[in-house]
A and B are shown apart, each in its own frame.
Chain A
Amino acid sequence: MRIAIVDESPARAAVIEEGLRDAGLSDITVLVERRGLAARLEALSPDVVLIDIENPSRDALEELFAVSRALARPIAMFVDQSDEHAIEAAIDAGVSAYVVDGLRRERIKSILDLAIKRFSAFSRLRAELTEAQSALAERKTLDRAKALLMKRRGIDEPAAYAALRKAAMDSGRRIVEVAEALITAEKLLGDMP
């Protein structure tokens, strides 16, 4: 079974490829570049094309599948129509697929299921990463606010933190919001580099 993964995100493509390889599928090609995509696919002649649903090359690919003589007529979203749930899961995960008509349904379904899992896992990873990044940014803000208080009021770090926390509790805001407000105020009032 020859599989092509078309994804403009190399990281996500790698995550999917790894999953498919773990499942014993070895004939996998990842295509990241938009340019020359049609020609490369035509040369590759895959049985299954996995593509992220928002990929702007999809219209061009559908045209290729409709007219290419080299490719064995892949059709969009192959799962049995009775299995609408699987298709919805795929769309939710953000993956779309084209397969050569007539391939064994069970076989393809397991590939799609895998791709869905991997796509979802990637989205989760990205969400966690964003969260981690914003947590880091918040800590930096907090550190700057603490340093400011320590310098201006001549207090130590625990006292500075306690002051911020109290202000946050009193005003019903998050501590990082208070820290941000303090930094902004300090900027406006001068005295900051």
Chain B
Amino acid sequence: MSERAFRIGFLPLVDAALPIVAHEMGLAEAAGVRIELIKDMSWATVRDRLLYGHTDAAHLLAPLAIASTLGLGRPPVPIVVPFVLGLNGNAVTLRREVAAEIAADPADPAHTGQALARLIADRKAKGLPLIRMAVVHRYSSHNYMLRYWLAASGIDPERDVEMVVVPPPFTADALKAGEIDGACVGEPWNSAAVDSGAAMIVTATSMIWRRGVEKVLAVRSEVADERADRLAALMRALYSAGTLLMDQSRRDAITAILARPEYLDAPAERIRRALDGRLMLAADSNPVPIPDFLLMHREAANFPWQSQALWLYSQMVRWGDAPYQPEAEVVVRKVFRPDLYRRALGGTGAALPGASAKMEGALRSPAGVGTTQGRLILSPDHFFDGRAFDPDDLANYLRMLRSNEKS
């Protein structure tokens, strides 16, 4: 094949599985594309390689794709997201000493959040330093999900805790060294901290919002235009990789691949926990099932709903990371490209939603969705505090959130 490979940048995380599996299990080849994977250790590096042409595509934080397009803190470079690599998949982990002071129930983030709020108030009364929480980047779903949970629990993320940034591969060490008290990070890095005995998982982002968009396939807009056919082939390969991930009989083989030094460089058993959605919350404890922990295939998880991008933008505005502008809202909506998804996966077995945006967090029971191909039933997608997001009424949503924050 004469066409050059799709160079894809990634960070060692379980939700980098689709491109890795597509490459290693021959799906890319079958779709007629070549993949070359480039591993890095920080999101800034993955992003810069993408923006400046070192890579053709990236496993990227969804908000970072939006921030790059808007030009937050740097010259803007238009990025498109034709395919979502994963929903959810992160957890909130606290240093053991801190976790021991709250009776966390991972399945009940409202209860856990209130317990954390009490602990924070108590520490404040005693004059103890603020709890220091790490996220992986300012423009990360981790940051916005953690803030959403804290704020809804009566904790002001700006004043009641100290928020810092630690790249995923260094989180477990930072917890162990006591440099941070807690972290919101993807797998296998929570489990690495748990296995070291230094930390406990107190909740998962899937419990905060059942369908939070997480990593995406990010491509420079001009590359998506120039190599449209190859990109479509790549997306078909990634989709096929998702079908293999769903196949229990292949899971051992897949975890063994992901565990290799050039990919996640972590024990296979630890990686398997995220794929199975069964996490060990503390060292040497029995694994606990976490509903919808990480979705990489089912329920059209790869479909780039524009409402997901807009929810992230609403949070970027909420926390002062981006100004609210009607023009920016239009730009953000168009970062996610359901049209490219439909074009690439038309004629395959993939379900293609007819709409490009939906109410987020409104489903309390499974509901059928109108499709132009295939059949699609979406499961409950609620936020833990019961609020729903209407992508056509961003201003009102922000007003509502603000009025509910601690005054």
**Minimum distance in angstroms from A132 CB to a CB of chain B:** 27
Beyond A56-B170, A87-B52, A91-B54, whether A66 also contacts B45 by CB under 8 A is no
Beyond A66-B73, A77-B48, whether A55 also contacts B54 by CB under 8 A is no
Complex: how many Å from CA A55 to CA B43? Answer: 11
Complex: how many Å from CA A53 to CA B321? Answer: 24
Chain B 129-172 per-residue mask, 1 if CB under 8 angstroms from chain A, else 0? 00000001110000000000000000000000000111101100
Complex: how many Å from CA A65 to CA B72? Answer: 12
- Kindly identify which residue among B42, B53, B74 contacts A77, using a CB–CB cutoff of 8 Å: B74
Q: Which of A43-98 contact B (CB under 8 A)?
A: 53-63, 65-66, 75-77, 81, 84, 87-88, 90-92, 96
Beyond A59-B42, A59-B136, whether A53 also contacts B165 by CB under 8 A is no
B74–A58 CB distance below 8 A: no
- Chain A residues within 8 Å of B54, by CB: 91-92
- Chain B residues within 8 Å of A56, by CB: 41-42, 167, 169-170
Complex: how many Å from CA A190 to CA B146? Answer: 64
Chain A CB within 10 A, most for which of B40, B136, B321: B40
| CB < 8 Å A-B pair total | 67
Complex: how many Å from CA A168 to CA B138? Answer: 59
- Chain B residues within 8 Å of A77, by CB: 48, 74-75
Number of interface residues of A (CB under 8 A): 24
A60–B165 CB distance below 8 A: yes
- Chain A residues within 8 Å of B41, by CB: 54, 56
B43–A63 CB distance below 8 A: no
Complex: how many Å from CA A87 to CA B45? Answer: 14
**Minimum distance in angstroms from A27 CB to a CB of chain B:** 24
A59–B43 CB distance below 8 A: yes
- Chain A residues within 8 Å of B176, by CB: none
**Minimum distance in angstroms from A161 CB to a CB of chain B:** 39
- Chain B residues within 8 Å of A87, by CB: 52
Beyond A63-B164, A65-B73, A77-B74, whether A58 also contacts B52 by CB under 8 A is no
Q: Is B44 an interface residue (CB 8 A)?
A: yes
Complex: how many Å from CA A191 to CA B48? Answer: 56
A63–B138 CB distance below 8 A: yes
Q: Is B49 an interface residue (CB 8 A)?
A: yes
**Minimum distance in angstroms from B365 CB to a CB of chain A:** 39
Q: Which residue of A lies closest to B73 (CB)?
A: A75
- Chain B residues within 8 Å of A60, by CB: 164-167
**Minimum distance in angstroms from A141 CB to a CB of chain B:** 27
Chain B CB within 10 A, most for which of A58, A77, A84, A92: A58
Q: Which of A115-159 contact B (CB under 8 A)?
A: none
- Chain B residues within 8 Å of A90, by CB: 52
B44–A91 CB distance below 8 A: no
B74–A76 CB distance below 8 A: yes
Q: Which of B32-86 contact A (CB under 8 A)?
A: 40-45, 48-49, 52-54, 73-75
Beyond A55-B42, A59-B167, whether A91 also contacts B49 by CB under 8 A is yes
A residues with a Cβ closer than 8 A to B are 53-63, 65-66, 75-77, 81, 84, 87-88, 90-92, 96
Extra contacts, 14 of them, besides A58-B42, A59-B165, A91-B53 (Cβ < 8 A), are A54-B41, A54-B45, A55-B42, A56-B42, A58-B44, A62-B137, A63-B165, A66-B73, A66-B321, A77-B48, A84-B52, A88-B53, A91-B54, A96-B48
